[in-house]
C-alpha cells in the first residue's frame, strides 16, 4: 500500500465525489501493476495525449479507500497543496518508490568536465530526482529521507512558464542515490516500473559487484 499511495500522490486523483479514485500513466505496465497491488480487476481505458501518444487510466469507486487516503494526507486537486503523508518509517521506502516512479527521474551517465584539458578524465554520475508543483511536499520528502536514511537532497526551483506554476525538484547525488535506491528496491521482485528500475539495476551490477543480485543492498 505504501507503493500504491506513492503512485496516487503523483499520478493519481481523488474526485470531489468522495468515492472515485483515478490513476493515469503513459506507462501501461504501471497501471496494471497499480491495479494488481490493490487486488482489483485489470481494467482501464486508453486515451490519446496532446502530443500523439497514449495515456492509460484506471478508475473505480471505493468510499473506504478514498476516506483512508484523505486521512493520511491526500486530497482532491492536490498538485499545488500536497504536503506531508502520514506513513510509518517502515513503509516510507515503498512510498518513495511510488513517488519516484510516478513523477521522479533517474540519470546515469559519464561526465567529462574538462575534455580539452584532460580528455581522459571522466567519472560516472548517478542522480535521482523527485519532482512536484508543491514545495511543501518536496520539503517533506527531503526531511523524511534525511531523518530515516541520512541522505541530503538539494531542492531546485524550476521557473514557471507563462501561465504555469513554479516546479520543484529534489535532487540526490551519487552516494545518496545509492542509499536511497537500495532502500526503495530492497529486492528485485518488488512491484515496480521496469524501465526506471533497470537503470539502477544495471548500475548496481556494474559498479557495486558486492551487492546481491536479488536485492538492492550494498
Q: Is 129 helix (H, G, I), strand (E, B) or coil?
A: strand
Residue 62: how many CB atoms within 10 A of its CB?
14
DSSP letter at 7? H
Instruction: Give all domains of the chain, ordered by start, each with its CATH number.
Output: 2-207 (3.10.28.10)
* Overall average pLDDT of the 165-191 stretch: 96
Q: In the structure grid, which three cell numbers stand for residue 115, read together?
A: 575534455
- What's the whole-model pTM score? 0.90
Would you place residue 49 in the very low, low, confident or very high pLDDT band (cuts 50, 70, 90)? confident
Q: In the structure grid, which three cell numbers stand for residue 15, read together?
A: 474526485
- Give, in degrees to the nearest 5, the angle at Cα 62 between 27 and 36: 35
Q: CA–CA separation, 125 vs 98, rounded Å?
A: 23
Q: CA–CA separation, 173 vs 184, rounded Å?
A: 16
Q: CA–CA separation, 8 vs 14, rounded Å?
A: 9
Q: What is the pLDDT of residues 7-22, one digit of tens each?
A: 999 999 999 999 999 9
Q: In the structure grid, which three cell numbers stand for residue 205, read together?
A: 551490477
- Comparing 175 with 111, the larger pLDDT belongs to 175
Q: What is the pLDDT of residues 90-148, one digit of tens each?
A: 999 999 999 999 999 999 988 766 666 666 666 789 999 999 999 999 999 999 999 99
Mean pLDDT score across all residues of the chain = 91
Amino acid at each position: 500500500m505504501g507503493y500504491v499511495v506513492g503512485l496516487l500522490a503523483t499520478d493519481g486523483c481523488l474526485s470531489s465525489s468522495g468515492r472515485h479514485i483515478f490513476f493515469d500513466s503513459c506507462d501501461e505496465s504501471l497501471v496494471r501493476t497499480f491495479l494488481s497491488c490493490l487486488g482489483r480487476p485489470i481494467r482501464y481505458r486508453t486515451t490519446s495525449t496532446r502530443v500523439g501518444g497514449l495515456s492509460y487510466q484506471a478508475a473505480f469507486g471505493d468510499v473506504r479507500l478514498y476516506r483512508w487516503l484523505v486521512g493520511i494526507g491526500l486530497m482532491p486537486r492536490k498538485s499545488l497543496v500536497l504536503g506531508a503523508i502520514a506513513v510509518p518509517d517502515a513503509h516510507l521506502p515503498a512510498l518513495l518508490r511510488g513517488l519516484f516512479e510516478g513523477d521522479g527521474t533517474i540519470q546515469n551517465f559519464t561526465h567529462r568536465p574538462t575534455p580539452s584539458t584532460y580528455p581522459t578524465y571522466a567519472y560516472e554520475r548517478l542522480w535521482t530526482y523527485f519532482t512536484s508543483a508543491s514545495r511543501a511536499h518536496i520539503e517533506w520528502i527531503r526531511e523524511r529521507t534525511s531523518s530515516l536514511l541520512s541522505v541530503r537532497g538539494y531542492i531546485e526551483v524550476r521557473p514557471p512558464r507563462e501561465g504555469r506554476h513554479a516546479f520543484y525538484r529534489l535532487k540526490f547525488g551519487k552516494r545518496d542515490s545509492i542509499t536511497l535506491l537500495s532502500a526503495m528496491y530492497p529486492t528485485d521482485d518488488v512491484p515496480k516500473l521496469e524501465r526506471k528500475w533497470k537503470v539502477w539495476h544495471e548500475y548496481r551490477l556494474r559498479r557495486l559487484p558486492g551487492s546481491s543480485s536479488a536485492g538492492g543492498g550494498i
